[in-house]
């Protein structure tokens, strides 16, 4: 079993977890080829999540920018408002197949916690979400949503008390109770087999986009664009275009206040190779290899690393990794609200910011698909605070 993406990935975990990871990989590989598993997942994606999500031609936005035609893959219209449910649904079915009665998950902004609490309620499983105490305080509405869905929230006070520390705590917990507990990781990262299975569950985004673009435009897009936190929505979009190198695959990292300031969350553009959370990948670290705190206006991009497949794609130049700073993301948020009547997540606004920058360089024959990974209702307070701080009109 190849657990690596070039030098990246692997299974850097204590011995107590290798058995649980082996069991998970075996279950997944069997389930993948089981038509009944696939049929149940497809049925839930259709009737519960609301797939397929539309591909939408953003005509007014494209005309305003005066270049490329921009299409939006509307993952924001999924149940719970983002792409994360594609993955939590798949992993919850695996948990049930393995006879596990309890789900645990890490969360930062709280979106993955809500998506996990949602599927736990749907399948009648116990659920506990690990969340840094700093995030518990600043993401109160999502903590309330998790409680409403019947989940417990465990507030983690170690380290910087944010996502990185929550994931450490969840891995530790899993090592002590993996016989009845399933660890549901929220992005295409962590020890093998998580990067593989999360990608597979999110690949529905890219596969649908490819088919929809062929139907609507009669050809493939020139570029597909997605924001990169841990990298799950991006790798899911990229998965639809692996055999078509003419389709440029663009990931957009959070540049925060600018890479040069050190205040960012761009692990590929501003990080170094290291090991954390069971994998080798690019991480933000100091000269001694200590993990650094991330900064981004968008809480959902605040992960100090990135999934291993993206590291390999970046090294081999099979995908391009751009950066959008806070100010560009907030401006892109405003632009989409005003020109299309769609309030995008701040995470997705980073991908939009790239498209807005790129579109005027091309003509109408050029097609850019932006993955709109989530809706932005959750970000209204954040945007207001950002604008007040920077003296911008609300």
Ligand X SMILES: *Cc1c(COP(=O)(O)O)cnc(C)c1O
Through-space distance between the first and last CA atoms of the chain, rounded to whole angstroms: 53
Q: How far is the CB of 238 from ligand X (least distance, A)?
A: 11
Q: Catalytic residue at 73?
A: no
Please say which residue, 67 or 198, places its beta carbon nearer to ligand X. Answer: 198
Q: How far is the CB of 144 from ligand X (least distance, A)?
A: 17
Choice among 52, 73, 100, 106 that is catalytic: 106
Q: How far is the CB of 235 from ligand X (least distance, A)?
A: 8
Taking residue 159's Cβ as centre, other Cβ atoms within 10 Å add up to: 15
Please say which residue, 24 or 265, places its beta carbon nearer to ligand X. Answer: 265
| Residue 29 Cα distances to 143, 160, 299, angstroms | 34, 36, 33
CA nearest neighbour of 184 among 239, 249, 113: 113
Please, are residues 371 and 226 in contact by the beta-carbon 8 Å criterion? yes
Please, are residues 82 and 117 in contact by the beta-carbon 8 Å criterion? no
Please say which residue, 178 or 184, places its beta carbon nearer to ligand X. Answer: 184
Site string for ligand X, 236-275 (x = CB under 6 A): ----------------------------------------
Q: Is 77 helix (H, G, I), strand (E, B) or coil?
A: helix
Calpha distance 325→373 (Å, rounded): 18
Calpha distance 295→301 (Å, rounded): 9
Please say which residue, 67 or 92, places its beta carbon nearer to ligand X. Answer: 92
Site string for ligand X, 181-220 (x = CB under 6 A): ------x---------------------------------
Which residues, listed in sequence order, are joined to residue 282 by a DSSP beta bridge? 273
Q: How many residues bind ligand X (CB under 6 A)?
A: 19
Q: Any residues with CB less than 8 A from the CB of 128 and at least 6 apart, and which? A: 102, 103, 104, 151, 152, 153, 154, 173
Q: How far is the CB of 53 from ligand X (least distance, A)?
A: 13
Choice among 73, 84, 280, 378 that is catalytic: 84
Q: Catalytic residue at 84?
A: yes
Site string for ligand X, 54-93 (x = CB under 6 A): ----------------------------x-x---------
Please say which residue, 67 or 314, places its beta carbon nearer to ligand X. Answer: 314
Which residues, listed in sequence order, are joined to residue 273 by a DSSP beta bridge? 282
CA nearest neighbour of 162 among 141, 136, 186, 197: 136
CA nearest neighbour of 119 among 133, 139, 100, 141: 100
Choice among 68, 280, 373, 378 that is catalytic: 373
Binding site for ligand X (CB under 6 A): 82, 84, 111, 187, 227-234, 300-301, 345, 347-348, 373-374
Catalytic residues: 84, 106, 373
């Amino acid at each position: 079993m190849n657990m690596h993406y070039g030098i990246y990935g692997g299974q850097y975990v204590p011995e107590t977890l290798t058995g649980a990871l082996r069991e998970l990989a075996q279950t997944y590989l069997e389930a993948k080829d089981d038509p009944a598993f696939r049929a149940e997942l497809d049925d839930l994606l259709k009737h519960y999540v609301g797939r397929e999500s539309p591909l939408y031609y953003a005509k007014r936005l494209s005309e305003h920018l005066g270049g490329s035609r921009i299409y939006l893959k509307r993952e924001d219209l999924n149940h719970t408002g983002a792409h994360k449910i594609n993955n939590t649904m798949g992993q919850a079915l695996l948990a049930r197949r393995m006879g596990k009665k309890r789900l645990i998950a890490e969360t930062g902004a709280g979106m993955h916690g809500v998506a996990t609490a949602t599927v736990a309620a749907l399948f009648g499983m116990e659920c506990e979400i690990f969340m840094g105490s700093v995030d518990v305080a600043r993401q109160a509405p999502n903590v309330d949503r998790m409680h409403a869905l019947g989940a417990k929230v465990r507030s983690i006070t170690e380290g910087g008390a944010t996502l990185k520390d929550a994931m450490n705590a969840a891995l530790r917990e899993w090592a002590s109770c993996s016989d009845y507990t399933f660890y549901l990781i929220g992005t295409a990262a962590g020890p093998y087999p998580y990067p593989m299975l999360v990608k597979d569950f999110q690949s529905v985004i890219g596969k649908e986009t490819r088919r929809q673009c062929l139907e609507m435009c009669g050809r493939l897009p020139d570029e597909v664009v997605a924001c990169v936190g841990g990298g799950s929505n991006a790798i899911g979009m990229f998965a639809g275009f692996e055999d078509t190198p003419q389709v440029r695959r663009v990931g957009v990292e959070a540049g925060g206040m600018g890479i040069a300031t050190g205040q960012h969350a761009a692990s590929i553009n501003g990080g170094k190779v290291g090991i954390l959370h069971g994998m080798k990948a690019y991480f933000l670290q100091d000269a001694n290899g200590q993990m650094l705190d991330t900064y981004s206006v968008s809480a959902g991009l605040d992960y100090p690393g990135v999934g291993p497949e993206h590291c390999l794609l970046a090294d081999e130049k099979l995908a391009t990794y751009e950066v959008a700073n806070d100010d560009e993301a907030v401006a892109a948020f405003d632009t989409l609200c005003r020109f299309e009547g769609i309030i995008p997540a701040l995470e997705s606004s980073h991908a939009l910011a790239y498209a807005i920058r790129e579109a005027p360089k091309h003509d109408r024959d050029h097609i850019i698909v932006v993955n709109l990974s989530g809706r932005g209702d959750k970000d209204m307070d954040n945007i207001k605070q950002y604008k007040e701080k920077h003296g911008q009109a609300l």
